[in-house]
Amino acid sequence: MRIGRRRFLGGALAGGAGVVALGVLGERLAGGAQAAIAAASQAPATHQWAMVIDLQYCNGCKLCTTACETAHYLHADQTWIDVFKMTNATGESYFMPRPCMMCEDPPCVPVCPVNANFRTAEGLTLVNQSRCIGTRICMNACPYQARYFNWVDPRPAPRQPFPQEPAWPVPQVKGTVGKCMFCAAMLPSGKVPECVASCPMGVLYLGDLETDVAVNGLGTTVKLSAFLADNDAVKFKESYGTHPRVFYILGHGQDLETDTQTG
């Protein structure tokens, strides 16, 4: 058989076009299970979940971390909500809980090669642990270091009220990434996330931007927009363009962007 240059180049071009077409088709199909999960939350969203963290009252007891790790059967170093000790410019220290920021423009989502990360219509960024192949490039992308890998076998968990799914990834899956998911499976039944419920100081509020309400573990209910405005709430690392949905209320002399983490 004689393959001329013209024919070879033509074939190469056609082959290349085929690969691109396959990729575009793949984008369209974008996965069965994933599409189902996304579709479930495609119904006109009645909630837009957010969180408010009032640093003025946090005493660093880390009960939120403990409650989270207990409820989700996590290892001790899988601090999905971590509490950092911070020191401000005048040398005074305070505590800063850090859950997943539930970014409106999450940098972890587009970097995954297999679409294991996705964002629901209610504004929650979730991980599909039955698809994650464990490249950890999302851990690289997250500017808040809010992602935790299952480096070893997860803690065994008893039978759960929900199936293992992105909205309730319990037990965790070895070799996949896990992170705070605002206890997504509990929210529809009117429960607040474990960390919010466990905070004895009422620091953590679960908020809903849609209904403009926020509530903490002590039962305090506030009008979200007014609460944020009155207390000059800030977002963490806004300069990264991630548009977090976690709002911090700072105490006197505190600045998350310049204060130093000391523990």
Q: In this chain, which of 11, 56, 70, 174 binds other proteins, going by CB under 8 A?
A: 174
Q: In this chain, which of 149, 168, 227, 247 binds other proteins, going by CB under 8 A?
A: 149
For position 95 contacting other proteins by CB under 8 A, the verdict is: no
- Shortest CB 27 distance to other proteins, Å: 6
Q: In this chain, which of 13, 17, 25, 229 binds other proteins, going by CB under 8 A?
A: 25
Q: In this structure, what token pair is assigned to residue 4?
A: 């001329």
Q: In this chain, which of 57, 62, 63, 134 binds other proteins, going by CB under 8 A?
A: 134
Q: How many CB atoms lie within 10 A of CB 17?
A: 10
Q: In this chain, which of 62, 63, 121, 131 binds other proteins, going by CB under 8 A?
A: 131
Q: In this structure, what token pair is assigned to residue 191?
A: 């429960």
Q: Tell me whether residue 105 or residue 230 sits nearer to other proteins (CB atom).
A: 105
- Shortest CB 257 distance to other proteins, Å: 8
For position 163 contacting other proteins by CB under 8 A, the verdict is: no
- Shortest CB 80 distance to other proteins, Å: 11
For position 164 contacting other proteins by CB under 8 A, the verdict is: no
For position 83 contacting other proteins by CB under 8 A, the verdict is: no
For position 240 contacting other proteins by CB under 8 A, the verdict is: yes
Residue 105: what are its φ and ψ, rounded to 5°?
Answer: -125, 75
Q: In this chain, which of 42, 56, 70, 145 binds other proteins, going by CB under 8 A?
A: 145
Residues β-bridged to residue 7: none
Q: In this chain, which of 11, 70, 136, 238 binds other proteins, going by CB under 8 A?
A: 136
Whether the Cβ atoms of residue 165 and residue 129 lie closer than 8 Å to each other: no
Q: Tell me whether residue 48 or residue 78 sits nearer to other proteins (CB atom).
A: 78
DSSP string, the chain: ----HHHHHHHHHHHHHHHHHHHHHHHHH--HHHHHHHHHTTS--S--EEEEEETTS-----HHHHHHHHHTT--TT--SSEEEEEE-TTS-EEEEEE-----SS-TTTTT-TT--EEE-TTS-EEE-TTT-----HHHHH-TT--EEE--SPPPP----SS-SBTTB--S--TTSEEE--TTTTTGGGTPPPHHHHH-TT--EEEEETTTTEEEETT--EEEHHHHHHHTT-B-TTGGGS---SEEEE--TT--TTTSEE--
For position 12 contacting other proteins by CB under 8 A, the verdict is: no
Residues 176-205 that bind other proteins (CB under 8 A): 176-177
Binding region for other proteins (CB under 8 A): 2, 22-23, 25-27, 29-32, 77-78, 84, 86, 96, 98, 107, 110-115, 131-137, 139-141, 143-145, 147-153, 173-177, 240, 256, 258-263
